[in-house]
Amino acid sequence: MVWLANDGMGARFSELFERPAIFSRIYEFDKNKLNLLKNIKYIFARNFRIQRLRPDLTPPRVMDLSEAGFDFESLKIKRRIHIKSWSLFYGEDKSFYQFEPVKELQEKIDAVTCGFDKTVGVHIRRSDLLESVEGSPTELFILEMRREIEREPETKFFLSTDDPEEERYLSDLFGDRIIIFNKDTRSRQEVGAIKDAVVDLYCLASTCKIIGSKGSSFTEVAARMAQIPLTIINSKQR
């Protein structure tokens, strides 16, 4: 496996997860701290081994193929294939491979989730993802959360969001029903922020169901990790 730490994901694999036995080797690169030798190897891999495949399998192409029902298993006949995607593209019947967080993060996950009982996960994606901002407005999250309380009066919510204002607003509105893992930073370039995101992801996966954001792979992955029900807030379907 090749793992690249960059401006969009500022942590190395070894800072987040234990090495799975299924991986015989893991190559870690930090785009902002590459030494000369690693830089040469990385440029070679990008331009001579992988780059030549990119025009056919860019993220938009993968999405088009997925929507058309393309069988990605058919690509196994190729000697080497590089699929670049920002969305899940394999069938729903495929199990999601479980990574094991490093001890430091697992202890934080356990500390948050040990008291989960009738806890619903809520993931509100904001920041730079316009599809979630416009398609999953906060007022619709609130409506869905109130429905959950009507169904089960003892419901609590684990809230994961990249927007501190959303945290404050929903905490004021729902009081002690809201459970939050406190964060010091939310910059994707910082290792601490990525570690906190892993904690949030696994906490979401430890809830009984998730209310999530339109267009967010974070929402989808959390639900698929634990095979729990997922409700996507989508203003166009109301």
Residue 90 lies in a domain: no
Q: Domain check: are 22 and 125 in the same one? A: no
Q: Domain check: are 207 and 131 in the same one? A: yes
- Specify the CATH number for the domain of residue 192: 3.40.50.11350
Q: Domain check: are 218 and 108 in the same one? A: yes
- Give the separation between CA 129 and CA 47, rounded to whole angstroms: 29
| CA–centroid distance for 193 within its chain | 13
Tokens of 149: 């309380």
pLDDT on residue 111: 97
State pTM to two decimals.
0.83
Q: What is the pLDDT of residues 183-227, one digit of tens each?
A: 988 888 889 999 999 999 999 999 999 999 998 889 989 998 899
Q: Domain check: are 161 and 108 in the same one? A: yes
Compute the radius of gyration of the chain from its Cα atoms: 19
Of 64 and 157, which is predicted with more confidence?
157
- Which of 4, 11, 7 lies closest to 196, judged by CA? 11
Q: Domain check: are 116 and 183 in the same one? A: yes
Q: Domain check: are 119 and 201 in the same one? A: yes
Residue 85 lies in a domain: no
- Give the separation between CA 61 and CA 187, rounded to whole angstroms: 29
The domain boundary, picked from 59, 77, 95, lies at 77
The domain boundary, picked from 77, 94, 114, lies at 77
Cα 192 to Cα 9, 13, 188, 200, 222: the distances in Å are 11, 13, 9, 12, 20
Which residues span the domain enclosing 172? 103-237
Grade residue 156 by pLDDT with cuts at 50, 70 and 90: very high
Cα 230 to Cα 4, 9, 44: the distances in Å are 30, 25, 41
Residue 93 lies in a domain: no
Q: What is the mean pLDDT of residues 33-56?
A: 53
| CA–centroid distance for 238 within its chain | 25
- Which of 94, 98, 95 lies closest to 17, judged by CA? 98
Tokens of 190: 């910082």
- Give the separation between CA 189 and CA 193, rounded to whole angstroms: 8
- How many structural domains compose the chain? 2
